[in-house]
Every structure is written in C-alpha cells, then in structure tokens.
Amino acid sequence: MADPVDPAYEACRSDGVLRVHRPSTEWLSTGPNGGRVTADAAYNVSVPAEWAETPLDAYATDRVDRAGFDGATDGPVLFTGVAIEDARGARCGPVTAYATAGISNPAALPMEPTGTAGFEDGDESAGDRARGTVNLVVGTTRALADGALANLVAVAAEAKAATLLAETGFPGTTTDAIVVGHDPSGPGASFSGSATEVGAATRACVREAVRASLEGHYDGADPILPASVDDATYGVSTDVRADVFRPPIAERD
C-alpha cells in the first residue's frame, strides 16, 4: 500500500465546497472576480444543475459559511457543476494540485474548421457556469517571480488540455478556470516553464489530478462521457476561421 500523501497545500471537503489552504499564499485566479490576492485559502464550490443567475460574491460567502469554513472568502472562489466528492489531488515535489473534471460542456477546436459558426453576444449567465467544468487549484512552495506565477497558469492549462485530449478527445470545456498560488516566503524561482522543477511538477500533478477526477466522475453509467459535442448536454465547436496575415516591416525615419 502506498504511503499517504502529505501535501503542502492541504484540502478538505464540506457541504459541496473544497477548501485549499496554506497561510499567506499569493493566488492568481482566472475565475470570477479573478486576479491576484493574498489569502489563506482558495475555494472550489459545486453548484446544482438548476443553479439560477445570482450575485456571485454573496453566493460564495453563503456557501463557504454553510460549509463551516469561518466565512473566510478573501481568497479566490471557483464554481463547478461537478460534485466535490469527485475532486482529486496530486503532489509532486514543490507542487500540489487539485482538480474537478466534468465534460458535459466540451469545447472542441477542429483543425479543419468549416467557417460556418458565428458568435453569440453577451457574457455567460450564472446558469451557464453550472455545467461540467474542469477547475484546477495549483500551489507551489516556491516564491515565484511575477512572470513565473502568471506563466504557471499557462503551464497548468497546457497540461490540462493535453490530459483531456488524451482522455476525452476535447481540450477543455466552455467554463474551465484555474487558480495558481505560491509562497512568497519560500525559496525563489524566476521561471516556471516546462523544463523547470516547478513547471515539470505542475504538469505531472495536473495530469494525475485531472485523470483521477475524470475517473471518479465517470465511474458508472451516469453521467456518461460524451463522444462528441453533439452527444454532450452542452458544448461548442469553434468552427469559425480567423483571417491570417503577416505583420508588416516597421518603417524607419
């Protein structure tokens, strides 16, 4: 039997809320009201399928309070239609990652687009956010430079897309979000690319956490992993073509 994992970023579940905790972490979130913030925890909140449009800040505070987490919603909050029971974590070296993964709303990117799909005006409603979603919370014990912390979002997103393509045939969903965090008091790291310790560990953690969450979410007949966008409850395929051009040479005085 494998030894128990002792993650540097500890997590616990309560009443549909996952709290990822490490004191004085600086977080960078791509989720609602995202950006940088220093807080002791980040949260991933599971919402019901019939979730109606609602003020997100008030909803997040209420859910965290009901979960018994002292109402501390200073940190970033993500929302998912996936049950928090399906959350999985992984640790590799200085990185810990947690994932919830569901593909009821896949976002396909065909390499030979038909050029027929258009765009709908307006932002998503809160109800749209209640669909499957692949959410990631990634934390490192290193103190990352500003650019390295921002780049960690890209590293995690790349690993998520590669894993989902291999496991589901889709690179993501319409509502995916990522939170990354670092310890400002830890050993410094100027870079976080794939060849660095932090980047490589992040790729490994995201791969294992996403695969494990998918396995937990689709363990059984309901829900069923969709084989295509047409088979999914929701989903999009980006079939529109962009116009390609070559940047001109700058004129000199």
Q: Which of 21-35, 61-75, 126-140 is most confident?
A: 21-35
Band the pLDDT of 153: cuts 50, 70, 90.
very high
Nearest Cα residue to 151 out of 124, 118, 189: 189
Band the pLDDT of 6: cuts 50, 70, 90.
confident
Band the pLDDT of 135: cuts 50, 70, 90.
very high
Average pLDDT over residues 67-74: 78
How confident is the model at residue 100, as a pLDDT? Answer: 98
Instruction: Tell me the three state secondary structure of residue 31.
Output: coil
Helix (H) or strand (E) holding 167: helix 146-168
Query: Domain locations in the chain?
Result: 10-237
Task: Work out whether strand 95-101 and strand 88-92 pair parallel, antiparallel, or are unpaired.
Answer: antiparallel
Q: Right CATH number for 10-237 from 3.60.70, 3.30.420, 3.40.50, 1.10.10?
A: 3.60.70
Nearest Cα residue to 45 out of 35, 27, 36, 32: 32
Q: Are 174 and 21 in contact (CB under 8 A)?
A: no
Q: What is the mean pLDDT of the chain?
A: 90
Average pLDDT over residues 123-135: 62
Distance CA 115, CA 245 (A): 17
Distance CA 37, CA 117 (A): 37
For the chain, the maximum distance between any two Cα atoms, rounded to a whole number of angstroms, is 71
Q: Are 204 and 212 in contact (CB under 8 A)?
A: no
Nearest Cα residue to 135 out of 9, 250, 230, 20: 20
Q: Are 249 and 120 in contact (CB under 8 A)?
A: no
Band the pLDDT of 221: cuts 50, 70, 90.
low
Measure CA 163 to chain center: 13
- Give percent above pLDDT 90 in the chain: 76
Band the pLDDT of 127: cuts 50, 70, 90.
very low
| The one-letter amino acid at 113 | P
Band the pLDDT of 167: cuts 50, 70, 90.
very high
How confident is the model at residue 188, as a pLDDT? Answer: 98
How confident is the model at residue 71, as a pLDDT? Answer: 56
Query: In the 8-state DSSP scheme, what is residue 86?
Result: G
Which of the pair, 115 or 151, is modelled with greater confidence?
A: 151
pLDDT in tens, 77-123: 999 999 999 999 999 999 999 999 999 999 999 999 987 655 554 44
Indicate the range of 85-99, 105-119, 132-146, 238-252 predicted with least confidence: 105-119
How confident is the model at residue 86, as a pLDDT? Answer: 96
Burial (CB count <10 Å: 0-12, 13-18, 19+), residue 128: middle
pTM above 0.85, yes or no: yes
Q: Are 193 and 91 in contact (CB under 8 A)?
A: no
